[in-house]
Amino acid sequence: MSYLAKVTSKGQVTIPAEVRARLGAEAGDRLCFTVDDSGAVTVEKVTLSLAELRGMVSDLPRLSPGEAVAAVDEARAARADALTGRRPQDGGQTR
């Protein structure tokens, strides 16, 4: 099956829904594009191994359960503010 997509001036492409579904790709996922000598392109969803995930967080400070919950809440609030364009009004503190 073939699908068409348009490249924007910024080099971005919207991947057709059917292709995303076949790849199992969702927002935030990483994709690997491989181009062979003939110019054919293969796209695969990148999955990280448990060892790779551990390596990504190995240098992070250890948090207590309460500190972890507070950090997640703060990150969620910051993300919501970024998505809605709001800015914190209390001197840079999020909720």
Q: Domain for residue 84, yes or no?
A: no
The residue type of 27 is A
Task: Specify if 76 maps to a domain.
Answer: no
Q: pLDDT, tens digit, for every residue of 63-95?
A: 899 998 999 999 998 888 888 876 555 555 544
Distances (CA, A) of 92 to 1, 26, 40, 63: 50, 31, 49, 22
**The pLDDT value given to residue 5:** 94
The 10s digit of each residue's pLDDT in 23-61 is 999 998 889 999 999 999 999 998 877 777 777 777 878
Task: Collect all residues with Cβ–Cβ distance below 8 Å to 45 and sequence separation of at least 6.
Answer: 23, 24, 25, 29, 30, 31, 32
* Beta carbons of 33 and 42 less than 8 angstroms apart: yes
Domain annotation covers residue 38: yes
Q: What is the pLDDT of residue 88?
A: 56
pLDDT recorded at residue 59: 81
pLDDT on residue 94? 47
Query: How confident is the model over 11-25, as pLDDT tens digits?
Result: 999 999 999 999 999
Structure tokens at 32: 């690997």
Give me the CATH number covering residue 35.
2.10.260.10
In a domain, 10, yes or no: yes
Strand partners of residue 34: 42
In a domain, residue 78? The reply is: no
Q: Is 6 a domain residue? A: yes
How high is the pLDDT of residue 41?
Answer: 92
Domain that holds residue 38: 1-49
In the chain, how many domains are there? 1
pLDDT value for 47: 85
Q: Where are the beta strands (DSSP E) in 14-91?
A: 31-35, 41-45
Does residue 7 belong to any structural domain of this protein?
yes
CA 45 to chain centre: 12
Residue 19 lies in a domain: yes
